[in-house]
């Protein structure tokens, strides 16, 4: 018990434990200011030559000669438990998903205590429940997030999901006609994507991911935009900025050129969404260096500027370059990017889908979940996001 109390005292000091990695810690000696002991967790060989985590060991005399659990090992255990609890508390918790049947309010008189069901409206998308407010005799339907949509929410969200999985607009429309027996024009699907970006982007950008590493990768790529005329044709520049550890796609901007102001706009947008970074990794474009000096070097010299062009730093920017490769594959079917404004909305919608709707093959979860944003999604993630965003807008209006 005495060693546990001493271990807790070491944790309370705050600067006596250094984490090297998850299996190696350094703990400062309480009797000598210059001595640090290594607390290491070793591996043991299990059945079938499988490796299993063993016991914690320490290089202090108390552990080496007495063969007992020392105060340094207890300190590491307390530190890990404290860190785990802090991580759980820092997770951005989900607001309650609005369900139409749980809270029905008259959109005219704003009352909910005198509302009854009033039959169903039948159309091609299915049966929709109607309601009657006996206070003001107003009839209405409740379809949070899809109030003015003639199509079923399932049809809309399936179309959005297929588009961001690499299916062209016309093929999405053909799929919906064949498998759902609903006729949809390809331009309507593009309108749904634009509306998805307009409604959901403010909601997701209002949540700051707590577990981003702060090491940001930024890169630019040329994309085809039909009405944007440049020297080499109808192109514009897409700037992408991504977090290293979580693969969270933080910022995306469309610009006509690669000027310093364009690079700085990406840095400013990322700082608003995720806070101050620890390092910026880029491919050595001069605009990045100048934008870094203007945005970070004057007042924030602790932010590192890493140029991934030397032999030492070669390959450091592979995270965002892989994202650009995904963008290049999708660009082949993205015929809706006919203007800078339309392209920006499509890229914003794709960023939301990438962060919140698709599991990353390496992470085993979405980048948003890895970054600490926990939303209680139903099976249809896109529909849940739209309802979350719409409900937030209604609460702000009231």
> What residues does each domain of the chain span?
2-90, 212-372
Instruction: Give the mean model confidence (pLDDT) for residues 1-7.
Output: 81
Q: Beta strand pairing status for 279-282 and 304-307? A: parallel
What is 212-372's CATH topology? Nucleotidyltransferase; domain 5 (3.30.420)
Burial 186-217 (b: 16+ CB within 10 A, else e): bebbbebbbbbbebbbebbbebebbbbeebbb
pLDDT tens track for 8-26? 888 877 678 888 887 889 9
Instruction: Tell me how far CA of residue 9 lies from CA of 17, 69, 74, 357, 392, in angstroms.
Output: 12, 16, 10, 44, 45
> What stretch of H or E contains 395?
helix 381-397
Residue predicted with more confidence, 103 or 397: 103
pLDDT at 321 over 50: yes
Q: Phi and psi dihedrals of 380, rounded to 5?
A: -90, 100
State how far the Cα of 73 lies from the Cα of 349, in Å rounded to an integer. 48
pLDDT tens track for 78-124? 888 777 766 555 555 555 555 444 467 787 887 777 888 888 877 66
State how far the Cα of 92 lies from the Cα of 72, in Å rounded to an integer. 33
On the 0-12 / 13-18 / 19+ scale of CB atoms within 10 A, 349 is buried
Under the banding of pLDDT at 50, 70 and 90, the label for residue 301 is low
Answering whether pTM is above 0.85, one says no
Q: Which pLDDT score, from 0 to 100, does residue 99 have?
A: 45
pLDDT tens track for 357-367? 989 888 889 99
pLDDT tens track for 179-193? 998 899 999 999 999
Q: Phi and psi dihedrals of 289, rounded to 5?
A: -60, -45
Instruction: List CB contacts of 82: < 8 A, sequence separation 6 or more.
Output: 11
Across 46-50, 55-59, 234-238, which has the greatest mean pLDDT? 55-59
Instruction: List CB contacts of 29: < 8 A, sequence separation 6 or more.
Output: 35, 36, 37, 60
Q: Which pLDDT score, from 0 to 100, does residue 47 have?
A: 55
Residue predicted with more confidence, 93 or 41: 41
Return the axis-axis angle of helices 340-356 and 318-331, rounded to nearest 10°. Answer: 120
pLDDT tens track for 252-291? 999 988 999 999 999 999 999 998 898 899 988 999 999 9
């Amino acid at each position: 018990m005495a060693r546990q109390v001493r271990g807790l005292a070491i944790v309370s000091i705050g600067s006596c434990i250094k984490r090297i990695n998850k299996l190696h810690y350094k703990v400062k000696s309480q009797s000598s200011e210059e001595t640090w002991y290594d607390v290491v967790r070793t591996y043991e060989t299990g059945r079938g030559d499988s490796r299993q985590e063993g016991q914690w060991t320490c290089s202090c005399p108390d552990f080496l000669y007495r063969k007992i659990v020392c105060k340094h090992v207890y300190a590491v255990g307390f530190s890990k438990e404290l860190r785990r609890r802090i991580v759980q508390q820092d997770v951005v918790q989900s607001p309650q998903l609005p369900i139409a049947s749980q809270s029905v309010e008259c959109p005219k008189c704003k009352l909910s205590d005198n509302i009854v069901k009033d039959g169903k409206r039948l159309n091609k998308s299915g049966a929709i429940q109607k309601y009657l407010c006996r206070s003001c005799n107003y009839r209405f339907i409740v379809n949070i997030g899809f109030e003015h949509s003639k199509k079923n929410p399932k049809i809309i969200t399936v179309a959005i999901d297929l588009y961001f999985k690499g299916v062209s607009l016309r093929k999405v429309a053909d799929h919906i006609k064949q498998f759902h027996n609903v006729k949809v024009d390809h331009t309507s699907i593009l309108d749904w994507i634009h509306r998805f970006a307009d409604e959901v982007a403010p909601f997701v950008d209002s949540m700051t991911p707590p577990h981003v590493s702060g090491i940001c990768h930024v890169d630019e790529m040329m994309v085809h935009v039909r009405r944007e005329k440049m020297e080499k044709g109808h192109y514009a520049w897409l700037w992408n900025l991504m977090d290293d550890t979580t693969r969270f796609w933080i910022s995306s901007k469309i610009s006509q050129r690669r000027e310093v102001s364009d690079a700085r706009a990406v840095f400013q947008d990322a700082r608003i969404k995720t806070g101050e970074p620890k390092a910026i990794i880029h491919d050595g474009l001069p605009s990045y260096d100048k934008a870094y000096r203007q945005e970070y070097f004057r007042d924030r010299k602790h932010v590192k500027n890493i140029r991934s062009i030397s032999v030492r730093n070669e390959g450091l920017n592979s995270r965002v370059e892989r994202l650009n490769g995904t963008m290049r594959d999708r660009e082949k079917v993205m015929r809706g990017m006919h203007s800078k404004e339309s392209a920006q909305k499509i890229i914003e919608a794709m960023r939301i889908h990438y962060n919140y709707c698709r599991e990353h093959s390496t992470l085993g979860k979405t980048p948003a979940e890895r970054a600490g944003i926990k939303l209680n999604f139903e099976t249809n993630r896109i529909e849940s996001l739209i309802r979350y965003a719409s409900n937030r807008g209604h609460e702000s209006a009231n």
